[in-house]
Structure 1
Amino acid sequence: MTSATRTAPHRLARAAQTAIAAATVSDVFRAVALRDHYLHPSDASLRRSGLVSTVFVYLMTLTTVLFLVWLARSRRNAQELSPEAAVPSPGWTIGAWFIPVVNLVAPRRCVLDIGRAGSPSWEKRDTTLVNLWWAAWIGHALLLTAANLAAPRSPALLVVTEALFLAAAVLVGLVIERVTARQAAALRVTVPVAAPQP
């Protein structure tokens, strides 16, 4: 079923990308503040790192909401573009991110399924981009957990986790761009043009 009102979620994509950029910048400030507090603990450094960490949490919450709204909209478009394709259900598209252990693998599959279903021109390099983003994201999450348990004040681990976070942020921005652009191209092909009136 095609509809002339369907569009790729460009505005949602831009909002999510902007929020990702803001959260990434705040995470860099948070990492610097934490490092300063670890090296020179004081009440002032504790307050500063607490404030920056709070801002980061708020921005990450906003980023998560915008990304999931974009993903849900992209899923709907993908299902309409390819009704026969294996597209995750609306509930699973969102819920997979919040189930422990499952969230280490299922969200990647959701994004890949949505990307493939939403674009006949999906290529191997698109899949590689998703895989690189997911590897950076999971690597960051696992290393951050390990660092917090084993060596919470290690500057080397802090640098590596930040590098992975930055890489994941850049790559997910590119994933959003790629999926949105591919859907926009597919929608231009499939949306019927109204016949001119006599």
Structure 2
Amino acid sequence: MTKTARRAPWILARSAQAATAAAAVADVFRAAAVRDHHLHHTDASLQRSGFMSMVFLYVMTPAIVLFLVWLARSRHNARELSPLAPVPSRAWTIGAWFVPVVNLFVPRRLVLDIGRASSASWEQKRDTALVNLWWAAWITHAVVLTVGGRAAPGSMPLLVVAEALMVAAAVLLGLVIERITALQGAALGATVPVAPLARV
């Protein structure tokens, strides 16, 4: 391993965590503004809805970019730590998020593979459960948002559920980022590669 590779991506991790939190907050305000416009069709509500949607887009885009850059860097470190582990390629680590249907299942597996390859200290039950909870919150948020928007547009209970799931997914993702980065920070100084763990 080169000396430059022996560093956990803490700056990227903190940036991705902050951007993800900001995006979750922006989405709450966006959803409220969109619901208000659905219930009260006025020029003011239209402008407010459009403005909040634009703010969300401007906040969410860098959050996605920062997370993917962090993930790519973490994948590189995991490959350095565990050359024999089933770590995905860099192209697939990024590309899988943009392939329809595939992006409902594969990204979870990629994050798990990177986490397992990052350190022998990966706890199979606890850490896998953390990734699974994050992914379940994110996917359920998308489902509730899509179904609710068609079946009951403007429903306050569905809005509350969807945004609670969005916030939960953001918090859990922050914990996933923290865990993998911390594991890599502790393991990158080791001279013995991490033994690959069984996949589930």
TM-score using structure 1 length: 0.92
Q: C-alpha separation between the residues in 1 aligned to 2:75 and 2:166?
A: 25
- Give how far 1:189 is off: 2.6
Identity in percent: 69
Give unmatched runs, 5+ long, in structure 2: 193-200
- Give how far 1:106 is off: 0.0
Residue in structure 2 matched with residue 28 of structure 1 by the alignment: 28
- Give how far 1:39 is off: 3.1
Residue in structure 2 matched with residue 141 of structure 1 by the alignment: 142
Residue in structure 2 matched with residue 4 of structure 1 by the alignment: 3
Structure 1 letter corresponding to 2:48: R
- Give how far 1:25 is off: 1.3
Structure 1 letter corresponding to 2:168: A
Select the structure of larger CA radius of gyration. Answer: 1
Residue in structure 1 matched with residue 164 of structure 2 by the alignment: 163
Give unmatched runs, 5+ long, in structure 1: 192-198
Q: C-alpha separation between the residues in 2 aligned to 1:190 and 1:139?
A: 41
Q: C-alpha separation between the residues in 1 aligned to 2:73 and 2:137?
A: 24
Q: C-alpha separation between the residues in 2 aligned to 1:27 and 1:104?
A: 20
- Give how far 1:150 is off: 1.7
TM-score using structure 2 length: 0.91
Structure 2 letter corresponding to 1:187: L
- Give how far 1:59 is off: 1.0
Q: C-alpha separation between the residues in 2 aligned to 1:190 and 1:107?
A: 29
Runs of 4+ in 1 over 3 A off after TM superposition: none
Q: C-alpha separation between the residues in 1 aligned to 2:17 and 2:177?
A: 8
Alpha-carbon RMSD across the aligned residues, in angstroms, is 1.2
Q: C-alpha separation between the residues in 1 aligned to 2:184 and 2:33?
A: 40
* Count of matched residue positions in the alignment of Structure 1 and Structure 2: 190
Q: C-alpha separation between the residues in 2 aligned to 1:190 and 1:50?
A: 53
Structure 2 letter corresponding to 1:52: M
- Give how far 1:23 is off: 0.8
